Structure 1
Amino acid sequence: MQNRGMKKWRPFATMPEQYIGLQEIINKQAEVPQPFLTEDQMEKMNFTLIEALHTNKQVYLTYYKNGQRITETGFIQFVDSLGNLFVFIDEVFELKNKMRLSELIDVHFT
């Protein structure tokens, strides 16, 4: 008796469009709405960003992007409250990331 291995599953790989469509549906179901922040929460985040900028402390950043909440660790390099953006350096890849302040959900020190 001989094992057929992966030959058995080859007929199901003939429709890649189906897999793409199913993955899109799964991703849409995993999306979460962007949370609404109060003025007090935004002010507290602003103070934390400015303190992290001046003291060069590491922070946890939670932000909203493409229907997902993403948390990263990094260092704040630049904050522009009037321009609604900030720049942080990612701890893992040490890359500079520009982001809008409106995408930010939470900031706290490690």
Structure 2
Amino acid sequence: MKDGKLPKRQYTEEFKAEAVRLAASVGGHEAARRLGVPVATVGNWSRRGVASSGPGGGPAAGEAPARRPVSELEAENSRLRRELAEAKLDVEILRKATAYFAKVSR
């Protein structure tokens, strides 16, 4: 590490396969955060199909990766829209309060 570079880390195939399975269930960013692995590394493993290389792990070479059902995505989308609306309301309230207190302090 004299050059300021990190040492190259080596991961077992089992670890990679588990990371890909975790990324499929909770998402790549969350899996990378939990495992302490760079997000790009988990993404590379997913694209290469590390999980499918082991016996009985993941989809076969010709199959498409598993996707979340549309109803799940719609529910998440509506939840995120609600959160966004609440955040916008909070920002608007804070703007008005700031303007009010700026006017009062003069």
After TM superposition, the score normalised by the length of structure 2 is 0.25
After TM superposition, the score normalised by the length of structure 1 is 0.25
